[in-house]
Structure 1
Amino acid sequence: MSLIMRPATEADIDRLVDVYFSAFKENPINIRVFPESSPQSRAFWKKNLEGDLKEDYVRFQVMETVDEPKTIAAFAVWNAPQKATNPMPPMPPLSAWPSDGEVDVAAEFFYDIERQHKRFMGPLEGAPEGSQQRPHWYLELIATHRDFQGRGAAGALLRYGEQQADAAGVPCYLDATPDGRPVYTSKGHGFREVESRLYQGGAYEHVFMIRDPRTSA
């Protein structure tokens, strides 16, 4: 089955939420924060993805089947580099998280992801006063529906951002589950792990990665 990449549209949102819940169905953090049967969980992700579509720095790409009926197999939300003086995009306020999920788990995990992003991609020593970040491509989210995993969709979405970063000569940054570690650190993608952190009393591990820009041969 052939897949093709295109920009996401507002008409895709409901399917993108389906893809998200399929991709993270067994993720222990997702299970606790976003109960799949919860209308609040779906509303949270619908609002979040709709917001991404409206941001001028977001590059929201989907992988879709070529044959009819067309079906979205995967998507990625890449953040393009912003001005150094711009603050990094914040996580939603605590009041926005589904109240029928475990809000304390969201607070521990997602706000620490925000802190690590600022820590690893903050301004370098000697940056101009007022700088809040260094130029980088940030993979905010990538998800592949379980029915389409292993068919190259995620790899194509990764390369989209990697190629943009290489052309600009800037790094890529992401955080991921340990299951994604072999993919991201493979020779084809070239991310390096900068830290692994434990959450939920050591029950859950999450990794943080940077990919240095590659120059053309």
Structure 2
Amino acid sequence: MPFVVLPAHIADIEPVYDVYFEAFKDEPILKFLYPRGVDRKAHTEAMAQWWGHDRISYTIKCLNADTGKIVGMATWDVFHRPGEGNGWERPAGIPWLEGKEKERAEGVLNGMWDMREKLFGARHKYIYLSVIAVHPEHQRQGVGRRLMQWGIDVAEQFGVPIYTEASPSGLGLYQSVGFEHLSHLRLVHRQEVTGLPDAEVPLVARMPAAARGLRFREWEARGCPETYGVDGSSGAQDAGRAGCAAM
């Protein structure tokens, strides 16, 4: 069965997110973000507005070339701009929720945003995998790997690392395509926030070939130099810093 990865267009929003909502329908994150269910018409309209002006995110689709059906999707955030800033702006929150529902959802997301600010801030260039989803009927057929390869290829062209949050079940896929588990960092969704048992979120990163074997933890300790400091000539003065954003 041939699968092809292509850029998603605004006209694809509804079928792209059909895949997303089907893939994540039993996951806690959807219950946090949409505790009363999803108004798909409003969601599609909001996403069309967002896609129309966003300059950071790139959503791709994976098609079954025989049927034309969208069977997978991913959104990659490319934080790479000339000059000092990388384009990162911390999200303002979850505007469609209120009260306790808003507090719970933002409590979950704040930990993820805090970690990205600690590691990269608004200065260091990197690529973030915002979401990847494969329709349950097409899982374990190589769709996820194709979607992953798109982002890896872009990261290699820029010579920057990829970072994201994995799931325990998906950790093996990340490691099979060159990601390392950042076991020195901990992100835990606490029961007092989620109402569910504590759950640790695996954090993963993939260094580009330009790093010449330098591991993420070593690069982070050197202050995340753009040249990677693999010859020891740069970044050494920043050794021991926790995260890159302090630079």
Quick check: 1:135 aligned with 2:125? yes
Quick check: 2:79–2:87 contact (8 Å CA) kept in 1? Answer: no
SS for the counterpart of 2:201 is strand
- Give the superposition deviation at 1:43: 3.2
| Distance in 2, Cα, partners of 1:167 & 1:46 | 33
> Kindly tell me: are residues 178 and 89 of structure 1, through their superposed partners in 2, closer, same or farther at Cα, counting changes over 3 Å?
farther
- Give the superposition deviation at 1:100: 9.7
**Structure 2: gaps (5+ residues):** 192-196, 213-247
| Distance in 2, Cα, partners of 1:203 & 1:23 | 23
* Other-structure match for 2:9: 9
**Structure 1: gaps (5+ residues):** 123-131
1:211 paired residue among 201, 206, 214: 206
1:82 paired residue among 80, 83, 96: 80
Written as runs of structure 1 = structure 2, the 5 A alignment for 1:2-81 is 2-35=2-35, 37-39=37-39, 43-44=42-43, 47-48=46-47, 50-52=49-51, 54-68=53-67, 70-81=68-79
- Give the superposition deviation at 1:139: 0.9
- Give the superposition deviation at 1:48: 4.1
| Distance in 1, Cα, partners of 2:175 & 2:182 | 8
Quick check: 1:192–1:211 contact (8 Å CA) kept in 2? Answer: no
Which structure has more strand as a fraction of its residues? 1
2:181 paired residue among 186, 192, 198: 192
Higher mean C-alpha deviation, range 163-172 or range 189-198: 189-198
Structure with greater contact order relative to length (CA < 8 Å, sep ≥ 6) = 1
> Kindly tell me: are residues 45 and 174 of structure 1, through their superposed partners in 2, closer, same or farther at Cα, counting changes over 3 Å?
farther
The amino acid across from 1:5 in the alignment is V
Quick check: 1:154 aligned with 2:132? no
- Give the superposition deviation at 1:183: 1.2
Superposition CA RMSD, Å = 2.6
TM-score (norm 2): 0.72
- Give the superposition deviation at 1:75: 0.9
SS for the counterpart of 2:128 is strand
> Kindly tell me: are residues 157 and 172 of structure 1, through their superposed partners in 2, closer, same or farther at Cα, counting changes over 3 Å?
same
Identical positions, percent: 24
Quick check: 1:33–1:106 contact (8 Å CA) kept in 2? Answer: yes
Q: Which has the larger radius of gyration?
A: 2
The amino acid across from 1:193 in the alignment is L
Tell me how many residue pairs correspond in the alignment.
203
Moved beyond 6 Å, runs of 4+: none
